[in-house]
A and B are shown apart, each in its own frame.
Chain A
Amino acid sequence: MIDPQIIFRRFTVGGYPINGYLVADRKTGIGVFIDPGGFGDEIAVFIAEKKIDLRHIFFTHGHWDHAEGLGDFQKKYSVKCCAGKNEVRAASTILSGGEKIEVGQLIFTALATPGHTAGGISYYCRNAVFTGDALFCGSVGGTSSSADAKLQIEKVRKHIFSLPDDTLVFPAHGPITTVAAEKYANPFFK
């Protein structure tokens, strides 16, 4: 759907449902799951059918609804975890923004989008950005102070809205959207 070189699927995961995303390099089969809020047969079957070699877990942030399924993934796959600072204890790679992470021949760029949490990270690859709870279609994630709200708006403007307008935005809650739609019509950025 998003790129012919990418195997992609969205799953509803977790006790408090969120969007979890599986992204894999079609050439090598190496893949990543973004925000493992839960795990289930549907995911395992898809991974097996598409012959995906799941090696990575990316966390947009460490809230329990985005991380609850990690243990189930770890039982079945040998995965390395990436997350922002102080977000997820199990993370072996700590991101602050700007890092490039290889998933097969796919290159993900970590984008610092704090606000909802202090170490929030969005992940950008090939015309798609996974924003977690930083940016939703027509909205933004909740914050615990007006300072954090301001920071979140600033960082989304800087790191997400600077991406090409036709970049697909995959949030952890709600439907997908685009950078253009959010830049020009999201009321929180007016």
Chain B
Amino acid sequence: MENYCVPDRFIVHQTVENLSGQERDMSNWRLLHSCMRQIKLVDCRFNYFRALDSQLKDMSFDQCLCKNGIYTHCLVEVLDVASSYFNDSHFVDCTFQDLTVELASFGMCVFDNCRLFGPRMSETAFIGSVWRDCVLSDCRFNFVRFPGSVFINTRFENCSLRKAIFRAARFINCRFESCQLPEAVFHNANFSETVFRQTDINQAGNLDGVVGL
């Protein structure tokens, strides 16, 4: 996944705020121990972004391309994403709070030791994604898809997963606790050492081909 590109801009120990951009190419930025806030981007590119130990707050992405990013030990708060694409990105030890996401794609992304608190997502896809040691808490998902994704040591807590699609997904040592699964699809999903507590898997609309339940 790593393609080295000469960075266009380094932001170190700084705060970048009140930035609006349209049709800008902000690829190859490096954010180190910094904060970006009150950023509004429309129709922008943000490829090969690297963020380490930084905060991304009050940001809005509309019809943006943000592929091949690496985000490590970051706090992402109040993020609004619409019609955008974050494919082939890697999130390590990141915390996401107060996300609103619609019609976005996080295809082939990897989430390691990440925490999502209270995200609201609709019509969003995480195709072929990998989730390791993650916590998804108080999620309000409507038609969010995870086809072909892998979940390892990952917990879903108090989540509403209406029409969520986990087609051909794999769950290894995972836990669903106090979750709602109306019309969720687990077609050809594979469960191994996965627990459902106060969660009725039979609420799901499609359990055809499920293994390990």
User: How many chain A residues touch the partner (CB < 8 A)?
Assistant: 24
Is B77 engaged at the interface, CB distance under 8 Å to the other chain?
no
Instruction: State the CA gap A185–B85 with chains docked (Å).
Output: 16
- Which residue in chain B gives the minimum CB-CB distance to A175? B105
Is A137 engaged at the interface, CB distance under 8 Å to the other chain?
yes
Is B107 engaged at the interface, CB distance under 8 Å to the other chain?
yes
- Which residue in chain B gives the minimum CB-CB distance to A168? B85
Instruction: State the CA gap A184–B63 with chains docked (Å).
Output: 24
Instruction: State the CA gap A190–B148 with chains docked (Å).
Output: 10
Is B97 engaged at the interface, CB distance under 8 Å to the other chain?
no
Residues of A within 8 A of B108 (CB): 180-181, 184-185
Indicate which residue in A10, A176, A190 contacts B105 across the interface (CB closer than 8 Å).
A176
Q: In the complex the two chains form, is A181's CB within 8 Å of B127's CB?
A: yes
User: How many chain B residues touch the partner (CB < 8 A)?
Assistant: 30
Interface residues of B in 145-194 (CB under 8 A from A): 145, 147-149, 165, 167-168, 187-188
Instruction: State the CA gap A139–B206 with chains docked (Å).
Output: 15
Nearest-Cβ distance from residue B129 to partner chain A, whole angstroms: 8
Instruction: State the CA gap A35–B172 with chains docked (Å).
Output: 41
Residues of B within 8 A of A131 (CB): none
Query: Chain B interface: which of A1-9, A71-79, A94-102, A146-154?
Result: A1-9
Q: In the complex the two chains form, is A187's CB within 8 Å of B125's CB?
A: no
Indicate which residue in B25, B44, B107, B168 contacts A187 across the interface (CB closer than 8 Å).
B168
Nearest-Cβ distance from residue B5 to partner chain A, whole angstroms: 15
Is B104 engaged at the interface, CB distance under 8 Å to the other chain?
yes
Is B123 engaged at the interface, CB distance under 8 Å to the other chain?
yes
Instruction: State the CA gap A174–B123 with chains docked (Å).
Output: 6
Q: In the complex the two chains form, is B103's CB within 8 Å of A174's CB?
A: yes
Residues of A within 8 A of B187 (CB): 187
Indicate which residue in A1, A9, A177 contacts B127 across the interface (CB closer than 8 Å).
A177
Interface residues of A in 10-24 (CB under 8 A from B): 10, 19
Indicate which residue in B85, B125, B167, B188 contacts A174 across the interface (CB closer than 8 Å).
B125
Residues of A within 8 A of B165 (CB): 138-139
Q: In the complex the two chains form, is B87's CB within 8 Å of A1's CB?
A: no
Residues of A within 8 A of B105 (CB): 137, 175-177, 181
Is B83 engaged at the interface, CB distance under 8 Å to the other chain?
yes
Residues of A within 8 A of B188 (CB): 187
Instruction: State the CA gap A184–B128 with chains docked (Å).
Output: 8
Given contacts A137-B145, A185-B128, A185-B148, contact A177 B107 (CB under 8 A): yes
Residue of B45, B145, B149, B165 with highest tally of chain A CB at under 10 A: B145
Nearest-Cβ distance from residue A172 to partner chain B, whole angstroms: 12
Q: In the complex the two chains form, is B63's CB within 8 Å of A10's CB?
A: yes
Is B98 engaged at the interface, CB distance under 8 Å to the other chain?
no
- Which residue in chain A gives the minimum CB-CB distance to B165? A138
0/1 per residue, B1-31, Cβ < 8 Å to A? 0000000000000000000000101000000
0/1 per residue, B74-89, Cβ < 8 Å to A? 0000000001010100
Which chain B residues have a beta carbon within 8 Å of chain A's beta carbons? 23, 25, 43-45, 63-65, 83, 85, 87, 103-105, 107-108, 123-125, 127-128, 145, 147-149, 165, 167-168, 187-188
A-B contact list, 24 entries, CB within 8 Å: A1-B23, A1-B45, A1-B64, A4-B25, A8-B63, A10-B83, A138-B145, A139-B145, A174-B103, A174-B145, A175-B105, A176-B83, A176-B85, A177-B105, A177-B125, A180-B108, A181-B128, A182-B127, A185-B147, A186-B147, A186-B148, A187-B167, A187-B168, A187-B187
**10 extra interface residue pairs, beta carbon distance < 8 Å, beyond A10-B83, A137-B107:** A1-B44, A1-B64, A137-B127, A137-B145, A138-B148, A175-B123, A176-B105, A180-B108, A181-B105, A190-B168
